[in-house]
Structures are given as C-alpha cells and as structure tokens.
Amino acid sequence: MSSTLNNPAHPRNVQLTADGRLKHFLSINGLSKTLLTEILDTAESFANMGEQAVKKVPLLRGKTIVNLFFENSTRTRATFELAAKRLSADVLNLDINTSSTAKGETLMDTLQNIEAMYADMFVVRHADSGAAHFIASQITPKVAIINAGDGRHAHPTQAMLDMFTIRRHKGAFEGLKVAIVGDILHSRVARSQIRALNILGAAEVRLVAPKTLLPVGIEEMGAKIYTRMEEGIKDVDVVIMLRLQKERMSGALLPSESEFYRLYGLTTQKLAYAHPEAIVMHPGPINRGVEIESAVADGPRSVILQQVGYGIATRMAVMSMAMSGQMHERSQIQ
C-alpha cells in the first residue's frame, strides 16, 4: 500500500464529499468538531431504539452492506451487523478464513467480485495500517467504506462510541480530563480517541503506560505522558483502560502480566486517585486481573457495558451518514 494512503493526515479529501459531508469513515483525522458532533447527535436519535417494540428504521432499506473482517472480532462485528439490520439493510458477513482470498485470490479480485454484486458499503477490519484507505482509493466511489480497525492506525467508530459514552455521562467535553491507560503502543483505539478528544475540546488528554508501551512522539498528537498510574489518573473525570495486545507484541516489553497489573492495573485503591465522580471505560475485551480489577469492571462507576450498547447507535449514525453522503454526491454529479 502506498505511503500516501498509510499517512494518517491523508483522509480529509478521501472521506468527505466536496461540500464536507461524510461519504467514507476511515479516520478521525481531518474531520471537524461540527462533523463529529453531528455523528454524536445522530447517534443520540438512535440510542433508545433497543427499547422499542420494533427495533428498525427504513433508512438503508434496499442497501447491501458487506462486513469484510480480515481480523477476528466478536463485539465489533456483532454491533456493525445489528446496526445495519436496524437500519433495514441487507447484510453479508464474509468469512475471510474460508473465502477465495484463502484460496489464492487477490484482495482486489475479491473486492471487485463483491462490488459486482452491487454492494453499497464495505465495513473493513484489517491487520494492515492503511487498508481501509487503500480499499477506498481502489474501488468504485459508489461504495462507502467504513473502517472497523486497521493495524495500529485507527479505529474511528470505537472512538466515536467512546465519545458518545463520555458525552452521555459527562454532558460536555470542555473542562474534562481524560486518562487513557495501558498498551498505547499497539492501540489503534487510543490514537483515534486522542484525536477525537482534542477535536471535541477536552481540557486534557493523558496517556499512562510504561515507557515500553508508549509510541515515540505520541505526545505530539496532543497528550501528556505519565509513567506512574497514581499521577496519571489523579483528579481525572474519565479513565479509559486498554488491554495488553499480546498478539501484536514482539520481544520482552513487560516483565510479566502480574507486574503490569501491580503498577498499571485499575484497582479500587488506584481509582480513588481519580475524581470522585470519574467514570471507567474499556473498549473490550477486558482481561480481569491484568488491566482491571473485577470490582472496578463491575462496579458502579463502570460504564463498560453501556459502551457496547452505545456502539450500535453510533455505528448506525456513521453508516446512515456515509450512505447519505454517497447518495448526495451521486445526485450532484448527475
């Protein structure tokens, strides 16, 4: 994939229409506060749909959405599928492990074959950074691309559901201090969260991790670095814990999981350093006794399960807005 497409600063022109509407959702970078707020407001309109007798709206009726997951996922894939079905779309889940790509077909051949079936949107999860940008640049512009996580680069819908969770529980971003704790080095979620928090006006974004799990130059994205947990979460309003991504680690980055838990695991005792009304978040899956204590994960300040529910509403918002932007752009061309 070209270095241009791997560049996080590139997506501005790719994912927006000429008049600034969303047509792909590839990265938080390059998006405005106004657009991020529109996503959150649209998600709000879908937030209580799960409580309704009929959990559907006809916004994407007749549209075909393909979940194209090259990495394993349960929570993200399930919420995307539910989101699409609640928008009344037809959904195809492509199992890459048994697809033609596993038999030697190239990625582009696979995509072009699905495109020939008149798919309207691809939801892409891939281990390579820049994969979603690459696909968006190669296929017909009539297909919307939603990035469901690419390498260490970005996970924009996870970041937006996290922003929705924060706004629901804290009301506004101005004045908020947010700590992101754990494996920052391998986390595409953290990178997207940092960008979203800064765009939306959070007062302070802190990264708390051992030096071996901090990317070089990450503070240039607009975050303060802390290597001691107690200092890093002192008086913060939101604590976002990240799991250790052992599948992406190479070499001895940590002495042991038990040592990591002792220094950086969120326990009831450590949480006392945060603001008394601080909420605890986690993008999941959580590893109890590694990055978080069960008493905290299941405690009254945890909003981890709410995040999962909010993920459906947020992904409904992104998918409906991207499809609307695609249709608007086509109408302008015609």
Query: 208-255 pLDDT, tens per residue?
Result: 999 999 999 999 999 999 999 999 999 999 999 999 875 544 444 566
pLDDT at 328: 83
154, with CB counted inside 10 A (0-12, 13-18, 19+), is buried
Pair 146, 92 in one domain: yes
pLDDT reported for residue 3 = 38
Instruction: Based on the fold, state whether residues 24 and 105 are members of the same structural domain.
Output: yes
125 labelled catalytic: yes
pLDDT-derived band at 333, boundaries 50, 70, 90: low
Q: CB–CB of 127/101 below 8 Å?
A: no
pLDDT higher for 287 or 140?
287
Q: Out of 53-57, 74-78, 289-293, 324-328, give the one with best mean pLDDT.
A: 289-293
Token pair recorded at residue 306: 């709410």
Q: Which of 17, 37, 64, 75 is catalytic?
A: 75
Active-site residue (options: 34, 74, 98, 103): 103
Q: Do 42 and 61 meet the contact criterion of CB atoms below 8 Å apart?
A: no
Looking at residue 140, its pLDDT comes to 79
155 is catalytic: yes
Number of domains in the chain: 2
Distance CA 169, CA 303 (A): 9
Q: Is 76 a catalytic residue?
A: yes
Tell me, what's the pLDDT at 142? 87
> C-alpha angle 214/220/222, rounded to 5°?
95
Q: What confidence score (pLDDT) does residue 108 get?
A: 79
Segments forming the whole domain that contains residue 273: 156-302
Residue owning tokens 């009539």:
142
State mean pLDDT over 12-20: 83
Q: Which of 76, 79, 157, 314 is catalytic?
A: 76
- % of the chain at pLDDT higher than 90: 69
Bridge partners (DSSP) listed for residue 225: 207
pLDDT at 7: 45
Return the number of other C-beta atoms located less than 10 Å from residue 109's C-beta.
Answer: 12
Query: At 103, is the pLDDT very low, low, confident or very high (cuts 50, 70, 90)?
Result: low
CB 133 within 8 A of CB 9: no
Query: What is the residue-averaged pLDDT of the chain?
Result: 89
1-21 in b/e form (b: 16+ CB < 10 A) is eeeebbebebbeebbbbeeeb
pLDDT-derived band at 99 (thresholds 50, 70, 90) equals low
Please indicate, yes or no, whether residues 278 and 186 belong to a single structural domain of this protein. Answer: yes
Would you say the C-alpha torsion 117, 122, 124, 128 has a positive or negative sign? positive
CA dist., res. 320 & res. 291, Å (int): 35
- pLDDT, residue 236, reads 98
Domain check: are 7 and 98 in the same one? yes
CB 233, CB 179: distance < 8 Å: yes
The pLDDT value given to residue 8: 41
Section 106-114 average pLDDT? 81
Helix axes 156-170, 188-200, angle to 10 degrees: 50
Whether residues 12 and 145 fall in one domain: yes
Same domain for 219 and 326, yes or no, is no
Q: Write the CATH number for 208.
A: 3.40.50.1370
Residue 9 has pLDDT above 50, yes or no: no
User: What one-letter code names the amino acid at 36?
Assistant: L
Q: Which residue has the tokens 């309704």?
A: 52
270 pLDDT more than 60:
yes
What's the average model confidence in pLDDT over 63-70? 92
pLDDT confidence bin for 154, thresholds 50/70/90: very high
Residue 187 predicted with pLDDT over 90: yes
Among 36-40, 139-143, 155-159, the minimum mean pLDDT is found in 139-143
| Active-site pick, 10, 125, 168, 188 | 125
pLDDT class of 334 with cuts at 50, 70, 90: low
Residues 139 and 36 in one domain: yes
Same domain, 101 and 30: yes
Residues 48 and 147 in one domain: yes
The pair of three-digit structure tokens given for residue 310, joined into one six-digit string: 């909010």
Whether 135 has a pLDDT exceeding 70, the answer reads yes
- Tell me how many degrees the CA angle 307-308-313 measures, rounded to the nearest 5: 90
Q: Which of the residue ranges 47-61, 88-102, 272-286 would you say has the lowest mean pLDDT? A: 88-102
Do 194 and 122 lie in one domain? The reply is no
**Candidate list 63, 155, 188, 282, residue with the active-site label:** 155
Whether 174 and 294 share a structural domain: yes
Quote the pTM value.
0.90
- Across 117-273, the runs of DSSP E, i.e. the strands, are 121-126, 144-150, 177-181, 204-208, 224-226, 238-241
CA angle 48, 165, 228 (to 5 degrees): 160
Task: Specify whether 75 is catalytic.
Answer: yes
Residues 93 and 147 in one domain: yes
